[in-house]
Amino acid sequence: MPYNIAMVSDFFFPQSGGIESHIYQLSSKLIDRGHKVIVITHAYKGRTGVRYLTNGLKIYHVPFFVIYRETTFPTVFSFFPIFRNIVIREEIDIVHGHASLSSFCGEAILHARTMGLRTVFTDHSLFGFADAASILTNKLLKFTLSDVDHAICVSHTCKENTVLRASLDPLMVSVIPNAVVAENFCPLSHTTRLPDQTLSSSPDPPLSPRPIGPDDPITIVVISRLFYNKGTDLLIASIPRILASNPNTRFIIAGSGPKAIDLEQMLERNVLQDKVELLGSVRHEEVRDVMVRGDIYLHPSLTEAFGTVIVEAASCGLYVVCTRVGGIPEVLPQHMTTFAKPEEDDIVLATSKAISALRSNRVRTDRFHDQVKMMYSWRDVAERTERVYEGIIGDIRPEEFYGYYPGQGWEASGDRVRSFALIDRLKRYYGCGVWAGKLFCLCVVIDFLIYVFLEMWFPRANIDIARSWPKKPPAPKSRESNTSRGYR
Amino acid sequence: MTSPPSLDPFPPPIPVDTHPNRAPGSKSPEPERTLPDPDRLAPEDAYFAPSLSRVRSAPANYDHNLRSLDGDNAAHLSSAAALRKKLTGSGRRRKRKGAWKKLLWVKQSYPDNYTDTETFLDHLQRNPRVRPYDFWPLVADSTVIVQHVCSVVIFVCCFVGIVQDRVSPVSIVCWGSVGTAVGWILWDNWIWNEHAQAVQSAERTAEGDDGSSSSSMASAANPPANDTQPDDTKTNAIHGLGLTMSGNQSKEHLASPSTDLNESIDGVAYATAQTAVPSAPPSTIHNSTDGALSQDIPRVSMLSPRNRQRMTTVKSAFLIYFALLGLSPILKSLTKSTASDSIWAMSCWLLIMNIFSFDYGSGEGAGATTKFPASLSTNAAVMASTVLASRLPSTTHVFSLMLFSMEVFGLFPIFRRQLRQKSWTGHVVLTLTLVIVAGGAVGVTLSGGWAAAIIGSVLGSILTALVMGGCSWWLISLQKYKNVVIGPWDPARPIIRRHWN
């Protein structure tokens, strides 16, 4: 059966970024699969109220006080009345929150549980355990996830991290990777297949897959925000050495950030301006046009939950050199990547290896695009997310959804299917910590009282039901393929 | 089997595991070490320090470290461990289906929420870099704190003595200055001995390669040109400049200790200038630093570099002396409109701030000798002494107290640090002296007379020893609660050869 799903996050368009496009792509693919999806986010500058995006994706921009980097002020309860109104208007069954730093998402999950809805949470980032900020964030995440029905992580490393941070049952956490729109990231030689792109993106005739000779110039592309976490220091240290040891090599660096000055200083000191091209920040639509100018993509990041950009680079037919951190080792097969330790020497070595591999034509980069297209697609992500929805709603039996080990004693733990009884919820929150547990319980009780109050003063009967966007009838084929997609 | 049939037009990519720990041979079975309580560090871990820490930090040892966490996570993680135990039974079944891989790009025949018992959390490391403390080294290290607290106590006692008219401020400042002068002479000797040794060793290394000494100026002027050069290669010339790392490094090494005193004096002068009026023209201060830096060219100058250095120091000292002299009348009336109670409270907090933010580091790490008492700490101390000085009756009093505070808070820490590096006996003797003097001073301040001083010294020494021992033991016993969780989700620490400034 089709569900009514509300995606809740602080981060959505018009701001651009990984989480934003994840929500948008997932929502539109879910709509394609016959569900009804709305997005609830806070009001951005010049964007308040209700909007529709392509395919009838409805966006609620709720006016809210923004404190830092488009994150709303965590007020715990003040979001409840309007949230309840939206949820009733749209007849929502499932609330799906995104991003652990979004207070909107955390509050929405709490309120949704109070209202008796199923909730899903998607974690997009990794957090450590050491510093004070992480400890606070982890406590808040534990509050959010104590009562969530299911969590989704973008990589297995991210799953381990989330399980530890929020003390979750590992079987309640699914790993569903990000994806790329492969059509938007095709190499130059592919433009012939898409006639509409030939006009816009490549004025010069597409170069058919040509072998790179031993003396041909090799261009290394780096597209990242220039922050410490993205490994810009490593990049700065290794560029001169890579250029010195590999003649006929060029760099194209796109992105801006606080480390840009260091990068420019390095270029000036070593007089490398003619070998390194700095583009500044580029919009996401232009990323492909930058990538196809190169042969190697260098990604020296220090932490990364998934690393969509390396998939995009591989999809553009670039050979990827990246650091072995976070979830990156899981993302691409070995014939597309060279891994390096996050050390200057190792990055230089790995890049040199990659250059010589390309020069000797040992890498078939012209096949990368089609291979990546097979590996990652948003349709697949939507299918897998749909299975999570079915599992928590109960359309798939819990033994099948969680256990899958008949006769192993798994069906015994009943807490995986989260009951809505207040006392059970309080029990879950109480275990969050000596002081935090009591505080969380207090919050939950107050939230429940607010809910009762709202039900009395603004009864459901007085809230109009919004008309849905006229949708295409769900294709029966896809439903069948979903149920048959399985565990062969 | 695992790759979908739709990949037909291409050779199906073989799902080679790119996961670092699954590389063949990386999982060597470790000899299991039996610990009394495997989840926590026990106090006796301190005794097994070397072997234990090595076992724990060994990178191939992830499985061994896979234990459930304490505290909040305990419940769920132990359930994860239980889960693992339960799932091991179904191993045969899984082999038939093809092993699960920790990869995202390959479509696997497992549900998305499948948790692999072998690889789940296998990168988790608990307390990997914990270095269990030993009792006596810990006590020895705590002497640094004792020294600083004692010097603060002595300063406060001197102030009380001055306020109560028991001690003449001039005598205090005279003794202080004599001490400073002696300290400086000692310090000067050490530095120049070090210098001489360094020059010798530098010359020895420089003999090997030609032109390094002649280009020392150039190398000092543009160090970045060398940045691409690996440290250990000495013979490689770069970009036609003919510079070598060794020459550059030795120069840096020489220059750094000799600028120490000047920098610190500047720091003190700067702090004074901050607390009040535009005092010393900044250009002169800069000149003094420039003087210190310009001693890089020793062979060309007329004065010997050592004397130049001394001249600079003396110049700085006089500068501060006269600046203070000029400032004293202003400082005297600085807080006239403020009640004394507020002054006591404020100076109390400032001194506490000084003690807590003081840089107790041994200065043995990287770039150690150039690191100095953190400016926050020095500023707090100078401000405390400024507000205290403003309670004093005459300009002489104010001047004496301020000068004394500079000596105690600005210069004495440098001397202590150097002494600790130079001679351990000297360090211990200095600590003992400071403890005894501080105890005596407290005794005298509280009740007066020699008897009180002796009782104070004895009590103070005993109390200090007890506190040092007690705190060290407490810290060691607290170690078992240490629970650092490290895994692949932590931001990696980049290893870069040379830092770009």
B110 contacts A342? CB cut-off 8 A:
no
> What pLDDT shows up at residue B206?
56
Nearest chain B Cα distance for residue A53, angstroms: 30
Q: Tokens 């490391």 — which residue?
A: B125
Q: Is B103 on the interface with A (CB under 8 A)?
A: yes
A262 contacts B75? CB cut-off 8 A:
no
Q: Is B81 on the interface with A (CB under 8 A)?
A: no
Interval B290-295 mean pLDDT: 43
For chain A, give the mean pLDDT: 83
Torsion of CA A232, A234, A235, A236, to 10 degrees: 90
CB B104 within 8 A of CB B19: no
Q: Is the pLDDT of residue A41 over 80?
A: yes
Q: State the amino acid at position B363 in one-letter form.
A: G
A94-98/A71-72 β-pairing: unpaired
CB A96 within 8 A of CB A8: yes
Q: Is A370 on the interface with B (CB under 8 A)?
A: yes
Q: Is the pLDDT of residue A42 over 50?
A: yes
The arrangement of strands across the sheet holding A36-42 comes to A49-53, A57-62, A36-42, A4-8, A94-98, A118-123, A150-153, A173-175
Number of H helices, E strands in chain A: 17, 16
A244 contacts B111? CB cut-off 8 A:
no
A345 contacts B495? CB cut-off 8 A:
yes
User: Mean pLDDT lowest for which of A50-54, A207-211, B20-24?
Assistant: B20-24
A244 contacts B495? CB cut-off 8 A:
no
A contact residues 348-367, partner B, Cβ 8 Å cutoff: 367
Q: Is A134 on the interface with B (CB under 8 A)?
A: no
User: Mean pLDDT lowest for which of A361-365, A402-406, B43-47?
Assistant: B43-47
Contacts of A181 (CB under 8 A, 6+ apart): A25, A378
B224 contacts A169? CB cut-off 8 A:
no
Q: Is B5 on the interface with A (CB under 8 A)?
A: no
Q: Is B474 on the interface with A (CB under 8 A)?
A: no
Q: Name the residue in chain A with its Cα closest to that of B97.
A: A488
Q: Tokens 């031993």 — which residue?
A: A214
- Residue B2 located in a structural domain: no
State which H helix or E strand residue A37 sits in: strand A36-42
B125-126/B485-486 β-pairing: antiparallel
> What pLDDT shows up at residue B83?
45
- Residue B276 located in a structural domain: no
A contact residues 394-453, partner B, Cβ 8 Å cutoff: 401-402, 404-405, 408-410, 431-433
B113 contacts A173? CB cut-off 8 A:
yes
**Pick from A157, A262, A333: CB nearest B15:** A333
> What pLDDT shows up at residue B498?
62
Counting one residue from chain A and one from chain B, the pairs whose CB atoms sit within 8 A come to 190
A167 contacts B73? CB cut-off 8 A:
yes
User: Mean pLDDT lowest for which of A52-66, A366-380, A459-473, B178-192?
Assistant: A459-473
Residues of B within 8 A of A241 (CB-CB) are: 228
> What pLDDT shows up at residue B249?
40
Q: Is B422 on the interface with A (CB under 8 A)?
A: no
Q: Name the residue in chain A with its Cα closest to that of B482.
A: A130
Give the helix, strand, coil percentages of chain A, each rounded to 5: 45, 15, 35
Q: Name the residue in chain A with its Cα closest to that of B1.
A: A488
**Pick from B13, B69, B112: CB nearest A176:** B112
Residues B84 and A482: their CA atoms lie apart, in Å, by 30
Residue A471: pLDDT band (50, 70, 90) is: low
The crossing angle, in degrees rounded to 10, of helices B305-332 and B282-294 is: 160
Interval A227-246 mean pLDDT: 90
The SS3 call for residue A218 is strand
Q: State the amino acid at position A94 in one-letter form.
A: I
**Pick from B73, B76, B228: CB nearest A244:** B228
> What pLDDT shows up at residue A298?
93
Q: Name the residue in chain B with its Cα closest to that of A342.
A: B494
Domain extent, residue B454, equals: 135-194+306-357+371-486
Residue B86: pLDDT band (50, 70, 90) is: very low
B13 contacts A371? CB cut-off 8 A:
yes
Interval A259-276 mean pLDDT: 91
Interval A218-226 mean pLDDT: 90
Tokens of B79: 């359930």
Nearest chain B Cα distance for residue A244, angstroms: 9
> What pLDDT shows up at residue B311?
87
A375 contacts B106? CB cut-off 8 A:
yes
Nearest chain B Cα distance for residue A370, angstroms: 9
| Predicted ipTM of the assembly | 0.73
| Number of domains composing chain B | 1
Residues B202-259 have pLDDT tens digits of 777 655 544 433 333 433 334 443 443 333 333 333 333 333 333 334 344 444 444 4
Domains in chain A (CATH in brackets) are 4-179+378-404+415-462 (3.40.50.2000), 182-191+208-375 (3.40.50.2000)
- Residue B422 located in a structural domain: yes
B498 contacts A237? CB cut-off 8 A:
yes
B489 contacts A343? CB cut-off 8 A:
no
**Pick from B73, B89, B488: CB nearest A325:** B488
B73 contacts A164? CB cut-off 8 A:
yes
Which of A164, A234, A243, A328 is the best substitution to test chain B (most B C-beta atoms within 10 A)?
Answer: A164
**Pick from A262, A269, A323: CB nearest B492:** A323
Residues A50-66 have pLDDT tens digits of 988 888 899 999 888 87
> What pLDDT shows up at residue A464?
86
A374 contacts B120? CB cut-off 8 A:
no
Residues A196 and B53: their CA atoms lie apart, in Å, by 62
Q: Is B485 on the interface with A (CB under 8 A)?
A: yes
Residue A34: pLDDT band (50, 70, 90) is: confident
B120 contacts A344? CB cut-off 8 A:
no
- Residue B51 located in a structural domain: no
B111 contacts A401? CB cut-off 8 A:
yes
- Residue B290 located in a structural domain: no
A contact residues 197-256, partner B, Cβ 8 Å cutoff: 229, 231, 233-234, 236-237, 240-241, 244
Q: Is A265 on the interface with B (CB under 8 A)?
A: yes
| Nearest to B289, CA basis, from B252, B251, B258, B247 | B258
Residues of B within 8 A of A339 (CB-CB) are: 18
Q: Is B333 on the interface with A (CB under 8 A)?
A: no
CB A304 within 8 A of CB A280: no
Residue B302: pLDDT band (50, 70, 90) is: low
Three-state SS letters, B168-208: CHHHHHHHHHHHHHHHHHHHHHHHHHHHHHHHHHHHHHHHH
Interval B438-458 mean pLDDT: 88
Nearest chain A Cα distance for residue B238, angstroms: 11
Q: Is the pLDDT of residue A203 over 80?
A: no
Q: Tokens 């194209």 — which residue?
A: A252
Residues B16 and A306: their CA atoms lie apart, in Å, by 19
Interval A304-309 mean pLDDT: 86
- Residue B172 located in a structural domain: yes
Residues of B within 8 A of A168 (CB-CB) are: 76
Residues B94-152 have pLDDT tens digits of 444 577 888 888 888 777 777 777 778 877 877 777 777 888 888 888 888 999 999 99
- Residue B450 located in a structural domain: yes
CA atoms within 13 A on the CB side of B75: 11
